[in-house]
Amino acid sequence: MTALPRRALLAAAATLASLPAAAQQGGVTTLNAMAARANAGTVGIVAGGIDGTYIRIAADLAAVLDDSERLRVIAMLGRGSVQNIADIMVLRGVDLGIVQSDVLAFARRERLFPMVERLIQYVCKLYDEEVHILAAPGITRVQDLAGRRVNVDLRGSGTAMTASLILEALGIRVQEENATQDAALDRLRRGEISALVYVAGRPARLFSGIRPDEGLHFLPLPADAGLLQTYLPARLGPEDYPGLVPPEGIDTLAVGAVLAVYAWPPGTERHRKVARFVEALGANFESFLRPPRHPKWREVNLAAEVPGWTRFGAAPGRQ
């Protein structure tokens, strides 16, 4: 359904107001029916910031699954995994969200939300996101960041959460900064901070404009035995960031991205809407594997399990 221009809506309202009472009542009834029909098929997905992978994945979901009549998908910018969990639980219009797989354990550990493990479920695991640590010239190891200013994104973001967990596990204390990623990159270029941490699916658009002569570079992240209980070993390659990564690549860690959902009881209207979305996702999955969709879709296995999470009852699976 194509949205009407504001001028047309005002004209329609003025016309309706000039009609006799019976005609006005009929017009209101028609508008109410249109609103009910539109909202019955609408699901909202909260994603991430404009430079991240989450919003591109959410945009792909809207582009492929939105058929205007039976299902409409609204992609929304988000403020990170922790905030996305809160939005799924309490914000009107948010049915699903893309979050990091370690957010549920973090929320439980910090006691951020009551009954979070019962209220939040997952539709599917999407893909793995790589931890990027971009540093200033002269810094060669992650241990060199001890005592220095390091940007970890906004408070409550998935990057801030993961950076805190990883740096704590490695015994590295930094002076945390909480600027947006684009602002942090500007500060890093000016020498005001020593590094920034960004958890995003490679290749992340944030780093696309960095020139080799700027001296900025990614730091390798050791695959510590304790960290491998939560995270996966990963690698940034020169094909991901030409001129920024050496031919042998950079070792790092990865965390899973999960499509999370509120645990609506079966039989409710909201459960039916999400179930319709899930059905469409499974039926149209092959469309996500072709351009112009994000290459991360090729890593998705709809049947993959997510440890520590409960699967949504209508979730899709691939044989």
Do residues 59 and 235 touch, judged by C-beta distance below 8 A?
no
Q: Same domain for 155 and 262?
A: no
Residue 244 sits in the same domain as residue 143? yes
241 lies in the same domain as 171? yes
For residue 316, being part of any structural domain is answered with no
- Tell me if 230 is assigned to some domain: yes
Is 91 in the same domain as 167?
Answer: no
115 and 63 fall within a common domain = yes
pLDDT in tens, the chain (319 residues): 344 455 655 665 666 566 676 655 666 666 765 555 666 789 999 998 888 889 999 999 999 998 877 899 999 999 888 999 999 999 999 999 999 998 988 888 888 999 998 999 999 999 998 999 999 999 999 999 999 999 999 887 889 999 998 999 899 999 999 999 999 999 999 999 999 999 988 899 999 999 999 999 999 998 888 888 778 899 999 999 999 999 999 999 999 999 999 999 999 999 999 999 999 999 999 999 999 999 999 999 999 988 789 999 877 754 3
CATH of the domain at 162: 3.40.190.10
As to burial, measured by CB atoms within 10 angstroms (0-12 exposed, 13-18 middle, 19+ buried), residue 174 is buried
Domain that holds residue 213: 129-255
Residues 133 and 250 reside in one and the same domain: yes
Residues 216 and 247 in one domain: yes
- 162 and 224 both lie in a single domain: yes
> By C-alpha distance, which of 274, 280, 243 is closest to 260?
274
Domain tally, the chain: 2
In a domain, 24, yes or no: no
Let me know if residue 180 belongs to a domain: yes
- CA-CA distances (angstroms) from residue 281 to 38, 266, 277? 19, 19, 6
Q: Are residues 145 and 239 in the same domain?
A: yes
